[in-house]
Amino acid sequence: MKISMLLMICIFLFSCTTPQTLTTDGPMEVASATFSNGNGESFHDAVVVGGVKNQREGVAAEYQYISGLHGQRGQDWFLVGQTVISNENKIVDVVEIQLNDPAFRKVFFFDATGFLMKK
């Protein structure tokens, strides 16, 4: 079971679009996106992203959530890295950002179980 989940995650990582090429015409806003449960500070307190139809909207909603807290992407914050972890029947998208202050990075955990494998 663990090997098949790891294989699914690897396939996802190699098949998904990179965050920088999510859209070519500016940030995508997902009006239907909802955010509930955790504060996003750990795997167990992951923010649950709802109201999205697929992986593309889910990732866009994650960036929308971060922008609501820290301002405009590419101006007030920058994407450092993004990875997926899985455990306890939950898939979590981990997003690391850099704020304008080079000494300040922040990591967000988003529960992507509901949208991650949807195209």
Contact 48, 38 (CB under 8 A): yes
Q: How confident is the model at residue 77 (pLDDT cuts 50, 70, 90)?
A: very high
23 lies in some domain = no
In a domain, 27, yes or no: no
The answer to the question of residue 24 being in a domain is: no
Answer yes or no: is pLDDT of 115 > 90: no
How many domains would you assign to the chain? 1
Amino acid 104: pLDDT = 92
pTM value is 0.74
Q: What is the pLDDT of residue 73?
A: 94
- Answer yes or no: are the C-beta atoms of 110 and 95 closer than 8 Å: yes
Backbone angles phi, psi at 28, to 5 degrees: -90, 130
The arithmetic mean of pLDDT across residues 45-66, rounded, is: 93
**Residue 25 is assigned to a structural domain of this protein:** no
Q: What span, in angstroms and rounded, lies between the C-alpha atoms of 77 and 101?
A: 9
Domain residue limits at 56: 2-18+33-111
Residue 12 has pLDDT above 50, yes or no: no
Mean pLDDT within 82-108: 92
41: how many CB neighbours lie within 10 A of its CB? 13
**Lookup result for tokens 């850099």:** 98
Whether residue 21 is predicted with pLDDT greater than 60 in this model: the reply is: no
Q: What is the distance between the alpha carbons of residues 60 and 22, in angstroms, rounded to a whole number?
A: 8
In-domain check, residue 118: no
Q: To the nearest whole number, what is the mean pLDDT of the chain? A: 79
Contact 39, 102 (CB under 8 A): no
In a domain, 42, yes or no: yes
Q: Is residue 28 part of a domain?
A: no
